[in-house]
Amino acid sequence: MSEAVDFRYIGTRPVRPDGLDKVTGRANFGADYSLPGMLHGRFLRSPHAHARIRSLDIEAALAIPGVQAIVTGKDFPDVEPGDIQGGEGAGDYHDLAVNVMARDKVLYHGHVVAAVAATTVRAAEQALQAIKVDYDVLQPVLDIDSAMAADAPLLHEHLYTQGLPEKPARASNVAQVMESSRGDIEAGFAEADVIIEHTYHTPTVHQGYIEPHACVARWGQDEQSVIWCSTQGGFDVRSMTARVLGLNISRLKVIPSEIGGGFGGKTTVYLEPVAIMLSRKSGRPVKLVMTREEVFRASGPASASKIKLKIGAKKDGRLTAMYAWLGYEAGAFKGSPMAPGVMCVFAPYDVPAFKAEGYDVLVNKPKVAAYRAPGAPQALFATE
């Protein structure tokens, strides 16, 4: 008989390191921080899913008592394209910058066109109502089929599909295609006793974290800036914010707060670059907190998908061939989790021949973000 093992923690009741602060209310979440002289920020968001900004007038808003700063796309530097490294979501720094604050075009309902910092929330909201925006409303594309149609309106006039043998002759809403295959699927289907074909759709699904996005930012007079925020990755916030604002990363410090849920949705930035810019312009700390409506309208959910499957099998249950066409919505900017979907869709199965084709498709919706094994649930739902 084996000797009893004296476990250090099993069978005990260890005290959680963060437990006391949370049950006593001492723990600070993103919206709990407050600094002397702090201003309150609010966003002006587009009421249109797709439109050009003809003009934007902030003069009347600046005259409202209590308003200390207003920023628009003109206040932000141009950011060169470059892949974002790290985290669970694919993306590009140029796209991230334009997602944080629209420039000459809005690409989804809720896209930020301006932000206000004022001494009170009421003054900030009054200023939003005083900002005048003239839009040239364009036709939106809201699902995979309409976005991939030959005559579909383009979200980006200079986006060409990647992953093809040759560069396409015209721009497209398909950012990338990807293929994974093995064996001869035509022979496999010819051998099958039973063939099943079906098309599956999964909708946009939000992470549903309890705590909305929130941050406080302070621009230092010595250009040493600090951000307190609710995030799943403080160093990612630091690198993304620095890149979007053209700052030396050594001049920016990020302090993560306690987090009230994230599930992948807090691995990117929405508020932080804007809060820093408002603080820089006003000379005072600025707090930005999303409402629940803003979270749903303008932060990244999981991709909606359209998946076509064809599966062949023998009467004894052995698979002979599998084919999948997987379309993933990326939102307004490239970077859906299409690649993980392609990699996962047939991964668990013993099949001699398969082919999976993936499409990263832009639509006039918020840019998608990570959500619990990005891309895999959609693909495996369809296959299973």
The reported pLDDT for the residue numbered 107 is 99
Whether 278 and 284 have beta carbons less than 8 Å apart is answered as no
Query: Among 62, 150, 116, 135, which residue's Cα sits nearest to residue 278?
Result: 116
Residue 18: burial class (beta carbons within 10 Å; 0-12, 13-18, 19+): exposed
Tell me: domain 144-206+301-383, CATH 3.30.365.10, correct?
Answer: yes
- Does the predicted model carry a pTM greater than 0.85? yes
Q: Which residue has the tokens 């040239």?
A: 136
pLDDT (tens digit per residue) in 226-239:
999 999 999 999 99
Give the domain ranges of the chain. Answer: 30-138+207-298, 144-206+301-383
Q: Which tens digits make up the pLDDT trace of 27-52? A: 999 999 999 999 999 999 999 999 99
pLDDT at 316: 97
Q: How far is CA 329 from the centre of its chain?
A: 12
What is the predicted pLDDT for the residue at 2? Answer: 65
Is 149:90 a contact under the CB 8 Å cutoff?
A: no
| Predicted confidence band of residue 3 (pLDDT cuts 50, 70, 90) | confident
6: confidence class by pLDDT, cuts 50, 70, 90: confident
Q: Is CATH 3.90.1170.50 what the domain over 30-138+207-298 is classified as, yes or no?
A: yes
Supply the pLDDT for residue 89: 63
> Got the DSSP string for 129-191?
HH-EEEEEE-----SHHHHHSTTPPPS-TT---BSSSS--SS--SEEEEEEEEES-HHHHHHH
Among 311, 237, 234, CA closest to 268: 237
Give the number of other CB atoms < 10 A from CB of residue 201. Answer: 13
Binned at pLDDT 50, 70 and 90, residue 86 comes out as low
* Predicted local distance difference test score (pLDDT) of residue 87: 58
Model pLDDT, residue 285? 98
pLDDT tens string 136-169 = 999 999 999 999 999 999 999 999 999 999 999 9
Does the pLDDT of residue 124 top 70, yes or no?
Answer: yes
Out of 12-21, 109-118, 339-348, least confident range? 12-21
Query: Torsions phi, psi of 178, nearest 5?
Result: -145, 145
Chain segment 187-209, per-residue pLDDT in tens: 999 999 999 999 999 999 999 99
Q: What's the chain's average pLDDT?
A: 96
Q: Which of 11-25, 236-250, 266-280 has the lowest mean pLDDT?
A: 11-25
| Tokens at 156, concatenated | 């980006």
Burial of 357 (0-12, 13-18, 19+ CB in 10 A): middle
- 199 class by beta-carbon count within 10 Å (0-12 exposed, 13-18 middle, 19+ buried): exposed
Mean pLDDT for 108-114 is: 99
pLDDT digit string, tens, across residues 255-284: 999 999 999 999 999 999 999 999 999 999
| pLDDT tens for each residue of 344-353 | 999 999 999 9
**Residue 1: is its pLDDT beyond 60?**
no
Tokens representing 196 are 């099943």
Position 90 pLDDT exceeds 90: no
pLDDT above 70 for 76: yes
User: What pLDDT, on a 0 to 100 scale, did the predictor assign at position 245?
Assistant: 97
